[in-house]
């Protein structure tokens, strides 16, 4: 049965290309939604970029006919901008019809009454809109097209029991996947192999797409940093492998995502010169109240948002200083002569370190670069795709984040529809990609307690 889907503004801002994702149904956008897109077009960051993209997609449909009368979509279904059905309905006390959200609810209710033989559904990502719509007897749905539907997000590793003779084969020529494995093992998925005939703790291995093999970088360090738990060793393996071009790391605060990525980036760019530069990118989504516009150059404006990167570099230098062999008493009392700011600024002046936000990424091609995208749970799937399509030859991309609802401040996404989980699930089958979920907090005993009990 053909359905009428009424789209809220936040759906178009979440996915500017959503209009073509409703199969053979009728897609309807209230005129006030277009007005809201117009008011958002000059907003900085993701919101303005998505609003402008959505308007361009709607504008393309004008070549098929009048948008007010309705046009046939190339992939099936129809689209129209609704100008009628704006008359008032009896809204409960407390609902102000001068508000755009309530106007959309009134329009949807009127269309529902007129089309009794045809389902009319309001599609919104606004929880308050959904509550009010349901209270008015309106069928309300979230936008599900790019929402991850699996029960649990891919972790990047599994466990396997094998006889000792098979474990020995892993260290000789590698081992083909045993037939008793009843789950899909993806390329670059880690396997913690334990012996079923000895009392050993087992070995950490990786599936290279053909065989189970030992880790290649288990005894390495990067910029003086050594991974300290099982999941960090897995993440380190993916980060250090130049043949893996895209890595996603998920985990809670203090699990080591940023410091591991920063250490490998400094090692690969400054020490080994595998890549030409480091590009550190972070979405500008404030936690709590926004502090408003910041003065200065682009780098100065972005510095407050790049605190995690600066802290990682600071901790890495502190770690290298503490590891200095047999320091004298005077050395032990002295402080390093450099500062993190001067270190980063020096390499920024030489084009070796860049700190950017997504606003300046459109149209760029990042070649021979190690690109680290922090807080990737804050971006939409559309923006994640836009970012990955910036990859040029010789580039490696790393997405970091904590995809739980408590760590998402962007109202356009949630734990199942953000850019991080979307890329984890979409990119896991490929030979040049890898993912690990880090579970253990290593920042400090206090951070461990806070992560677990608060």
129: left (phi over 0), alpha (psi -120 to 50) or beta: alpha
Name, of 323-332, 343-352, 445-454, the range with top average pLDDT: 343-352
Phi, psi of 436 (to 5 degrees): -145, 140
Most confident among 334-343, 358-367, 443-452 (mean pLDDT)? 358-367
Does the pLDDT value for residue 263 go beyond 90?
yes
pLDDT > 60? residue 327: no
What is residue 176's three-state secondary structure? coil
Distance of alpha carbon 146 from alpha carbon 294, whole angstroms: 34
Strand-pair partners of 162: 195
Output the pLDDT for position 18.
93
Residue 386 has pLDDT above 50, yes or no: yes
pLDDT in tens, 68-80: 999 999 889 999 9
State the angle between helix axes of 230-240 and 257-266 in degrees (0 to 180), rounded to the nearest 10: 30
Per-residue confidence at 299, pLDDT binned at 50, 70, 90? low
Residue written as token pair 């990067």: 222
Span of 75-84, 202-211, 399-408 with lowest mean pLDDT: 399-408
Return the closest-CA partner of residue 256 out of 295, 216, 228, 296: 228
Judged against a pLDDT cut of 90, whether residue 286 lies above it is answered with: no
Count of helices and strands (H, E) across the chain: 15, 16
Establish whether domains 4-141 and 221-453 are of one fold. yes
pLDDT-derived band at 301, boundaries 50, 70, 90: low
CATH topology of domain 221-453: Rossmann fold (3.40.50)
357 and 387 Cβ atoms separated by less than 8 Å = no
CA-to-CA distance for 34 and 39, rounded, in angstroms?
9
Secondary element (H or E) of residue 4: strand 4-7
- 403 or 321: which carries more pLDDT confidence? 403
- Helix-strand-coil split of the chain, %, nearest 5: 40, 20, 45
Contact criterion met (CB below 8 Å) for 56 and 12: no
> How high is the pLDDT of residue 336?
54
- What integer pLDDT is reported at residue 88 of this predicted model? 63
pLDDT for res 418: 92
Q: Please state whether the predicted TM-score (pTM) of the whole model is above 0.85.
A: no
Structure tokens at 119: 């389902």
pLDDT digits (tens, 9 = 90+) for 96-147: 878 899 999 999 999 998 888 899 999 999 999 999 999 999 999 999 887 7
In the chain, domain spans: 4-141, 221-453
Mean of the per-residue pLDDT values of the chain: 87
Give the integer Cα–Cα distance in Å for 301 and 294.
Answer: 5
Phi/psi of residue 307, nearest 5 degrees: -55, -35
More confident residue, 327 or 372: 372
pLDDT score for 48: 86
Mean pLDDT for 171-192 is 92
What share of the chain in percent tops pLDDT 90?
Answer: 59
* CA dist., res. 215 & res. 227, Å (int): 13
- Where does 239-298 show beta strands of DSSP type E? 246-251, 277-281
Name the token pair of 454: 């608060």
Q: How many angstroms separate the CA atoms of 170 and 181, rounded?
A: 16
- The rounded distance, in Å, linking the Cα atoms of 35 and 54 is 12
Read off the DSSP letter of residue 304.
G
The residue whose two tokens read 């690969």 is 268
* Confidence (pLDDT) at 81: 96
> Higher pLDDT residue, 266 or 413?
266
Compute the radius of gyration of the chain from its Cα atoms.
26
Q: What is the largest CA-CA distance in the chain?
A: 86
Handedness of CA 201, 244, 434, 365 (dihedral sign): positive
Cβ neighbours of residue 278 under 8 Å, at least 6 residues apart?
265, 266, 269, 352, 353, 354, 369, 370, 371, 372
Mean pLDDT along residues 18-42: 94
Of all residues in the chain, the percent with pLDDT exceeding 70 is 89
Q: Is the pLDDT of residue 285 over 60?
A: no
Per-residue b or e along 24-40, where b marks 16 or more CB atoms closer than 10 Å to that residue's CB: ebbbbbbebbbebbeeb
For tokens 């070549």, the residue is 63
Q: If residue 265 lies in a helix (H) or strand (E), which one and from where to where?
A: helix 257-266
Please report which helix (H) or strand (E) contains residue 437, including its range.
strand 433-438
CATH classification for the domain delimited by 4-141, as one of 3.90.228.20, 3.20.10.10, 3.50.50.60, 3.40.50.1010: 3.40.50.1010
N-term to C-term CA, the chain: 47
């Amino acid at each position: 049965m053909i359905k009428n889907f009424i789209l809220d503004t936040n759906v178009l801002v979440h996915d500017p290309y959503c209009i073509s994702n409703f199969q053979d149904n009728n897609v309807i956008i209230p005129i006030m939604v277009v007005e809201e897109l117009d008011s958002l077009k000059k907003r900085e960051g993701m919101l303005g970029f998505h609003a402008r993209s959505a308007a361009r997609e709607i504008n393309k449909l004008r070549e098929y006919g009048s948008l007010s009368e309705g046009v046939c979509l190339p992939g099936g279904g129809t689209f129209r901008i609704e100008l009628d059905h704006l008359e008032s309905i009896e809204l409960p006390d407390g609902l102000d019809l001068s508000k755009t959200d309530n106007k959309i609810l009134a329009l949807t209710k009127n269309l529902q009454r007129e089309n009794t033989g045809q389902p009319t559904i309001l599609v919104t990502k606004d929880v308050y809109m959904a509550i009010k719509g349901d209270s008015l007897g309106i069928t309300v749905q979230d936008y599900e097209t790019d929402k991850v539907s699996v029960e649990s997000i891919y972790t990047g590793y599994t466990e396997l029991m094998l006889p000792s003779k098979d474990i020995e084969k892993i260290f000789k020529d590698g081992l083909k996947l045993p037939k008793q494995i009843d789950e899909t093992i993806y390329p670059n998925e880690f396997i913690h192999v334990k012996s079923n005939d000895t009392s050993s703790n087992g070995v950490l291995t990786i599936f290279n797409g053909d065989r189970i093999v030992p880790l290649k970088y288990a005894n390495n360090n990067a910029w003086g940093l050594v991974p300290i738990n099982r999941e960090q060793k897995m993440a380190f393996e993916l980060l250090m492998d130049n043949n893996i071009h895209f890595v996603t790391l998920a985990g809670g605060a203090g699990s080591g995502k940023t410091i591991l990525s920063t250490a490998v980036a400094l090692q690969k760019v400054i020490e080994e010169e595998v890549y030409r530069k480091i590009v550190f990118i972070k979405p500008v989504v404030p936690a709590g109240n926004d502090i408003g516009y910041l003065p200065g150059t682009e780098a100065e404006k972005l510095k407050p948002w790049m605190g995690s990167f600066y802290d990682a570099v600071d901790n890495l230098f502190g770690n290298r200083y503490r590891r200095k062999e047999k320091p004298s008493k005077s050395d032990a009392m002295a402080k390093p002569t450099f500062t993190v700011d001067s270190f980063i600024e020096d390499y920024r002046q030489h084009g070796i370190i860049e700190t950017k936000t997504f606003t300046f990424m459109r149209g760029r091609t990042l070649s021979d670069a190690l690109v680290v995208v922090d807080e990737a749970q804050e971006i939409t799937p559309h923006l994640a795709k836009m970012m990955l399509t910036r990859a040029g030859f010789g580039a490696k991309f790393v997405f970091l984040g904590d995809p739980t609802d408590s760590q998402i401040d962007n109202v356009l996404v949630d734990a199942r529809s953000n850019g991080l989980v979307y890329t984890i699930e979409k990119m896991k089958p490929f030979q040049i990609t890898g993912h690990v979920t880090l579970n253990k907090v290593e920042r400090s005993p206090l951070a461990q307690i806070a992560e677990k009990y608060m």
